[in-house]
Amino acid sequence: MLNQRLYTNHLLYYFFSLFFELILPVAAVDNEDEILYQARATGSSMKPKATAIVVNYNSLGKWDIIESCLKRIFSLNYRPLEIIVVDNGSDDGSFELIKQLIEEIRQDEGFKIRIIRLSKNYGFAAANIIAYRLRDPESKYIALINNDLSPEPDSLERLIEILEANCMLAGVQGVILTWDGRYIDTYGVFMTDHGLTYPISSMESSCLQKLRPVIPTYIDGAFSVYRVEALERSGGLFMPYFFMWGDDYELGIRLWRSGYVLAAVPVVVGRHYRGASVQLWEKTTSQLSYLKYWSWVSNIAVTVIYGHIFQLLRRMPTAFASIVLLKRSKPILMGFLDGIKLGFKLRKLLRQDWLRSAKEPRLRSNLLWELALLARFYLRYGAKGSKIRSILIGRSLGRRFALKSEKVDFKLNIFT
């Protein structure tokens, strides 16, 4: 168990709130609260069609969780709705169980479920791309929902209402709670000016009434809804080069630089059993190293694609500190190097000038403080230090940027 005092230490919250400064290169939204106001004030009897995509791979180990989540996904009350389940070549029997579950669901003209089985595990991004290309051409919105997320019945409808009322929004996410409902799992994710990612998270659910809309760098792929028109004008859904992770934050940056806005809105959309989709509790040491490798490949590649050489240089001390302090240092080193190679390869493919101009909100952080904190938490808490640090940063970001009662001082750098 993590030290419970860390959840309530206001001095640490205050310290971390001074650690970051939010930079909005473009003042895309004058008043975030208008997002909800416009949505509530707008109504339409003609609902656009939506497609929800769910990816599965060898989920038998936590089938009780996965089954309950799938049943909730199939019970979403939005209509017209198409659900596409993509199985990434599962060989543990979970595909057959899902197929049996779908056969028991009553379908009609306004509600269809399809299941697609791939020959092997192509990764999360590729599976979503396949489903996206096979979607109903009439679908105006695409919802990405993890198979370990249990959505609220009206969650999809409420998110689409917000998108319908705000044409500048390319995508939205709501409040995703932890599985026990006690804490916020994610409420938008920020990237630092040198590529690290920090979600608003770990806040107690008792603060839900105080939440305000947030304009993050990207929205969490566990449950997010995107406008198809925005995706098509920005180059499509995901890039197929990211086997794990990297997909949602690459997409977020690309949408921002295409002139769109992303938002996290204070609507509770479901509960997330984080880690169930990748079976974290059953992984061997080599498999965990594989996951660590891909987390670094994806993150560094995105930094190279949309950043500059100075951002990459700023990541090197953090990578070196992680290699020295943390276990499984070899996959971190290999992931860092392979991420650089992949990033420069994709950078050559994306030659559009508009992708070079930063428009997404990012956090400016002090590199020396970041390294000092990383070392301090590791020396004090050992292997749990990284987790505790993430909890504190997630909570402090929420207190500074997501709570109505907190004074928020955005620094705007507007470039013409």
101-116 residue pLDDT tens = 999 988 888 999 999 9
Confidence of residue 121 (pLDDT cuts 50, 70, 90): very high
Distance, CA of 332 to CA of 329 (rounded, Å): 5
Q: What angle do CA 391, 400, 197 make, to 5 degrees?
A: 50
Give the pLDDT confidence of 45-84 residue by residue, as tens digits: 679 999 999 999 999 989 999 999 999 999 999 999 999 9
Residue closest to 216 by CA, chosen among 367, 410, 346, 42: 410
Is the confidence at residue 262, as pLDDT, over 50?
yes
More confident residue, 2 or 294: 294
* CA–CA distance, 159 with 259 (Å, rounded to integer): 20
pLDDT over 60 at 301, yes or no: yes
Confidence bin at 21 (pLDDT 50/70/90): low
The closest alpha carbon to 203, from 401, 19, 15, 377, belongs to 401
- Tell me: pLDDT of 285 over 70: no
Q: Which of 193-228 are b and which e, b meaning 16 or more Cβ less than 10 Å from the residue's Cβ?
A: bbbbbbbbbbbeeebeeebbbbbbbbbbbbbbbbbb
Q: Enumerate the domain spans of the chain.
A: 33-278, 279-412
Fold of the 33-278 domain: Spore Coat Polysaccharide Biosynthesis Protein SpsA; Chain A (3.90.550)
Look at residue 54 and give its three-state secondary structure: strand
Which has more pLDDT, 393 or 19?
A: 393
Strand partners, 86: 55, 116
Separation of alpha carbons 36 and 377, rounded Å:
38
Question: How far is residue 139's CA from residue 376's CA, in Å, rounded to a whole number?
Answer: 50
pLDDT of 17 > 60? The answer is no
pTM: 0.84
Per the rule left: phi > 0, alpha: psi between -120 and 50, beta: everything else, 248 is alpha
Radius of gyration over alpha carbons of the chain, in Å? 20
Q: 23 near 54, Cβ under 8 Å?
A: no
DSSP secondary structure letter of residue 108: B
Which residues, other chains included, contact 228 with Cβ-Cβ below 8 Å and sequence gap of 6+? Answer: 135, 139, 140, 141, 142
The number of beta carbons lying within 10 Å of the beta carbon of residue 323 is: 15
Per-residue pLDDT at 129: 94
Report which of residues 4 and 198 the model is more confident about.
198
Half-sphere exposure of 168 (CA within 13 A, CB side): 14
